[in-house]
Amino acid sequence: MSHAVHVEAARILLDRFYRELVRGTSIGHALAQGRSALVSTRARWIETGPQGRAIALEDWFLPHLYQRGPDETLLPSGTAAKQSMRRYDLFLSHNHNDSTRIEALARRLVESQGLRVWLDKWECGPGPLKPQCETGIRDSRFTLVAGSQAALDSEWVAWEIESYRALNPEGNRLLPIKLEPLELPADLDDLLWVDFTDHEQDADNAALLARLVRTADAEDAHRQRGFRPPPEPGQPGGFPRPPQYGFQGRAQELYELERRFRRGRGLVLHAMGGMGKTALATEAAHWWTRSGLFRDGACFISFEQFASAERVVQVLGGYCEGPRFDQLPAAEQRRRAVERFQQRDLLLVWDNFESALPQFNEGFGDGSPHPALSQRGRERGIWSVLRAAFI
């Protein structure tokens, strides 16, 4: 290219472009919608960070499409509607007077918290709005009601709340927030709501919203048969944080790993220290959960420090069944953890496992016990868990 494209422009364009392709539109139409998104979102940051300065640019004319022949669709019409999982985490119901604040919140939830957000400004196209909003509510796991006096007086917001209740009779996925000091109606005030009245606390409150949404990850993965994301860094079973400048390359290795996993249940990834094995395994785990190879999720255990068989069982079982798993007897924990691993599309990454070999090896190849291990170590070794899970 003979000109530069701002990274924010590329993000806006490609986000809308691929969304339209998945909906079954043609490449030409998808690109036109991407350019339309650029027109409607002119802000381009020139400094990073929550308070970074931005400028207004009109760069919608940058992408060009040269085609020969008919402008055909790449995917069958209605592909997105046939997916078994809900495509969005949050539907944002709000009044247009609050649009600036809500769009800023939506961007924070997407960029900082990794949530998939349905916002009318991003998703609605030409034509009647109610059917599009109804589809957005149906395709979203939660509906967030942005509480302001203007919103509570709005017939449109009231219609979106009623549409949510009609589409979700269980009614446990409605999240009100307060944008200003006010009294919520009784039916909303009885629900768990988040206080967004202090603008300076928006980052912390967005993180709280994300945690509330993720409490339903396991339930939704099993009910909808969509994907469950791996735990966040710092949580039990959480993967390490990505490299400082992102994950680059390794496409061939990722492809080969996926091919091998489709033929077998276990792989050993080995290389010299510092070659990026952990980063590759982390990237692969996140990609494979999103793409459906391991739609029940993935969890990570490092053996760089001492990790017992009980620890492996507790991390795996807690990830599958939640905090109450720790209350079970040890024998029942092991039985259920192995059973869950066998029955579900779940990836378990053991990092630095070579550190465990001298401590947990239950015997030599001929079956005789390792002389350095006690009877307790042989009975509760990692290898018994490994064999039980894979055989």
Q: How confident is the model at residue 227 (pLDDT cuts 50, 70, 90)?
A: low
In a domain, 220, yes or no: no
Does the pLDDT at position 91 exceed 90? Answer: yes
Residue pLDDT, tens place only, 255-273? 888 888 777 777 888 878 7
Q: Within a domain: residue 277?
A: yes
CATH code of residue 103: 3.40.50.10140
> Is 11 a member of any domain?
yes
Which of 31, 52, 84 is a domain's end point? 84
221 lies in a domain?
no
DSSP code string of 212-253: HHHTTHHHHHHHH----PPPPTTSTTPPPPPPTT-----HHH
Q: What is the pLDDT of residue 378?
A: 35
User: Per-residue pLDDT for 316 more than 90?
Assistant: no
Looking at the fold, whether 303 and 379 belong to one and the same domain comes out as: yes
Q: pLDDT value at position 379?
A: 37
pLDDT band at residue 43 under the 50/70/90 scheme: confident
Q: Quick one: CA dihedral 102, 107, 108, 113, positive or negative?
A: positive
On whether residue 120 sits in a domain, the answer given is yes
Q: Is the pLDDT of residue 373 over 60?
A: no
**39 and 100 share one domain:** no
Please tell me the predicted confidence (pLDDT) of residue 160: 92
Task: Please indicate, yes or no, whether residues 89 and 70 belong to a single structural domain of this protein.
Answer: no
> In b/e form, how buried is each residue of 273-296, taking b as 16+ CB within 10 angstroms?
eeebbbbbbbbbbbebbeeebbbb
What is the total count of domains within the chain? 3
Q: What are phi and psi of 383, to 5 degrees?
A: -65, -30
3-state secondary structure at position 174: strand
pLDDT of residue 391: 44
DSSP 170: T
pLDDT at 78: 57
Helix 382-390 to helix 309-321 angle (10° resolution) is 40
Compute the average pLDDT of residues 379-389.
51
Confidence of residue 375 (pLDDT cuts 50, 70, 90): very low
Within this chain, do residues 58 and 7 fall inside the same structural domain, yes or no?
yes
Q: What is the pLDDT of the chain when averaged over all its residues?
A: 77
Mean local confidence (pLDDT), 142-158: 90
Across 57-83, average pLDDT? 67
Q: Is the separation of the CB atoms in 87 and 141 below 8 Å?
A: no
Query: Are 276 and 286 in the same domain?
Result: yes
Task: Write down the pLDDT at residue 1.
Answer: 38
Q: Same domain for 194 and 299?
A: no
* 222 assigned to some structural domain: no
What beta strand segments (E) does 234-302 contain? 298-302
Task: Identify the pLDDT of residue 93.
Answer: 92
pLDDT for position 38: 81
Residue 79 confidence (pLDDT): 54
Residue 203 lies in a domain: yes
Which residues constitute the domain of residue 44? 1-84
| pLDDT for res 223 | 52
Residues 242 and 285 in one domain: yes
DSSP character string of 76-120? -TTTGGG-SS-SEEEEEE--GGGHHHHHHHHHHHHHTT---EE-H
For residues 110 and 12, state if they share a domain: no
Q: What mean pLDDT do residues 145-164 have?
A: 90
Same domain, yes or no: 275 and 336: yes
End residue of a domain, out of 187, 215, 243: 215
Task: Let me know whether 382 and 301 are in one domain.
Answer: yes
In this predicted structure, the answer to whether residue 146 has a pLDDT above a threshold of 50 is yes
| The last residue of a domain, from among 28, 49, 84 | 84
This prediction has a pTM of 0.43
Same domain, 233 and 356: yes
**92 found inside a domain:** yes
Q: Assess contact for 10 and 66: CB atoms under 8 A.
A: no
Q: Which of 280, 261, 369 is nearest to 383 (CA)?
A: 369
pLDDT for 251 equals: 81
CA dihedral 323, 324, 327, 331 (to 10 degrees): -100
Over residues 201-230, mean pLDDT: 71
Residue 199 sits in the same domain as residue 249: no
Q: How far apart are CA 385 and CA 378, in angstroms?
A: 11
Q: What is the pLDDT of residues 180-215, one digit of tens each?
A: 888 888 888 888 888 898 888 888 888 888 888 877
CATH number for the domain that contains residue 381: 3.40.50
Of 319, 310, 311, 309, residue with least CA distance to 361: 309
